[in-house]
Amino acid sequence: MERILIVEDNKSLSKIIAKKISQNEEFDVDVAHSLKEAEILVAKNKNYFLALLDLNLPDAPDGEVVDFMISKKVPSIVLTANVDSKTRDEILKKDVIDYVFKGNIDDVNYIFTLIERLSKNRNYKVMIVDDSMVIRKEVKRTLESQMFKVLSAAHGEEALGYLETNKDVKLILTDYNMPVVDGFELTKRVREDYSKVDLSIIAMTANDDPMVSAKFLKIGANDFINKPFTKEELVCRVNNAIESVEYIEMISDMANTDFLTGARNRRSFFKEAEAYVQEARERDEPFAIAMIDIDDFKKINDTYGHDGGDEAIKALVKVVQDNIKGSDIVARFGGEEFCVLLKDIDRDSAVELFVRLRLKIARNTIEFKGNEIGYTASIGVAFDSAESLDDIIDEADMALYRAKNSGKNRVEISE
């Protein structure tokens, strides 16, 4: 478990914050009420995910606790009851993540939103592209304080080179005027391979011409920021861009995923499977498709209710996913019926896998409201013998029909 340190002399407030953070299973919490107590805790645990620091403590009235945590390289968020411009500027000059005003419960709730954001940011790569070394270093330092993995490039050509080996970059911040490849050209070339769904672009420039921002947005930038910008504005725009990518990915997942099981839905299956079948035939790569149906599913619903039936369906999907390759596809076609595509597999190996899978399904039981639910499944398997994907699935469906009529709990192969 990762740990978060709270240093706050208001014991009621620190208790509220600690309790809320502890509800998140990712973090344990340590609490100190003075700089001295904080020093003792940091000496014991040098790997805090971050610290929440009261700016004015009884034994550290002028923010000394912040300087101490910075010296120990503990990422820090400052808690303050005073947000006048002088205090704000002094806080942001320090190498801290952010500051939070201790005004009311809504302000305090921002802490938990921020912690969640920082935790997620660790999964993302972002890139700063600017010919000014000073700006690159400053922006990189700010982004790293937000927990991002940061790449930096001096011009667009260098950035494109980094993208070749870092295809998981989620955000690029690019300057406009740069040597070799400028920001316009970089944006256009990135958009040839990455949509706005895949990668966000924020353009940066000191140019006063309003047409520059319009041109950037028209060729594919997601946002625009004028230089000079404050650290706060940069952080807000970057986090907003990442959140937009996350929301789009979430919506895409919802559109392609069966809500109950997490397997693909029928629409998503056909989209990916049709593309794969065409490529597999060009490569002369063998594959197999199977239809799987839970036997006597109505009895499960009648005995245990629809909730029991849902648990049976989810359990079957887990058994299937645990026994196929990550590149293979399992999709729920409707009710208790599923379609499975095994990629790059010969006929004998596919038959062996589905025979083994049938046995594992039959041996699998699930606990539901004090009862054990057991069931079997019938499987029909087809290979690349028909003209289209639809025809192959029809052949697997016919094999499934024969398995049902031949006693169920068996595997039948297409003729």
Q: How far apart are CA 175 and CA 148, in angstroms?
A: 19
pLDDT of 138 reads 94
pLDDT of 30 reads 95
Q: How far apart are CA 120 and CA 116, in angstroms?
A: 6
pLDDT of 206 reads 83
Q: How far apart are CA 392 and CA 262, in angstroms?
A: 24
What architecture is the 264-413 domain classified under in CATH?
2-Layer Sandwich (3.30)
Judge whether 122-252 and 264-413 match in fold: no
Q: How far apart are CA 7 and CA 73, in angstroms?
A: 16
Which positions ≥6 away from 312 have C-beta within 8 Å? 294, 297, 300, 336, 366, 373, 375
Residues in the chain: 415
- The pTM assigned to this predicted structure is 0.74
Q: What ranges do the domains of the chain cover? A: 2-119, 122-252, 264-413
Q: How far apart are CA 236 and CA 276, in angstroms?
A: 40
- Per the structure block, which two tokens stand in for 206? 């000191």
- Per the structure block, which two tokens stand in for 265? 């839905």
The count of C-alpha atoms lying within 13 angstroms of the C-alpha of 15, restricted to the half-sphere facing its C-beta, is 3
Q: How far apart are CA 338 and CA 317, in angstroms?
A: 9
Q: How far apart are CA 403 and CA 351, in angstroms?
A: 14
CATH topology of domain 122-252: Rossmann fold (3.40.50)
Q: How far apart are CA 396 and CA 398, in angstroms?
A: 5
pLDDT of 290 reads 97
pLDDT of 224 reads 92
Written as tens digits, the pLDDT of the chain (415 aa) is: 889 999 999 999 999 999 999 887 789 999 999 999 999 999 998 789 999 999 999 999 999 999 999 999 999 999 988 778 888 888 888 889 999 888 777 778 889 999 999 999 999 999 999 999 999 999 999 999 999 999 999 999 999 999 999 999 999 999 999 999 999 999 999 999 999 889 999 999 887 777 888 899 999 999 999 998 989 999 999 999 999 999 988 888 888 999 999 999 999 999 999 999 999 999 999 999 999 999 999 999 999 999 999 999 999 999 999 999 999 999 999 999 999 999 999 999 999 999 999 999 999 999 999 899 999 999 999 998 888 999 999 999 999 999 999 999 999 999 7
What single letter denotes the amino acid at residue 330?
Answer: V
Q: In sequence order, what DSSP letters do the residues of 313-324 get, joined into one string?
A: HHHHHHHHHHTS
CB of 336 within 8 A of CB of 311?
Answer: no
The domain 2-119 having CATH identifier 3.40.640.10: the answer here is no
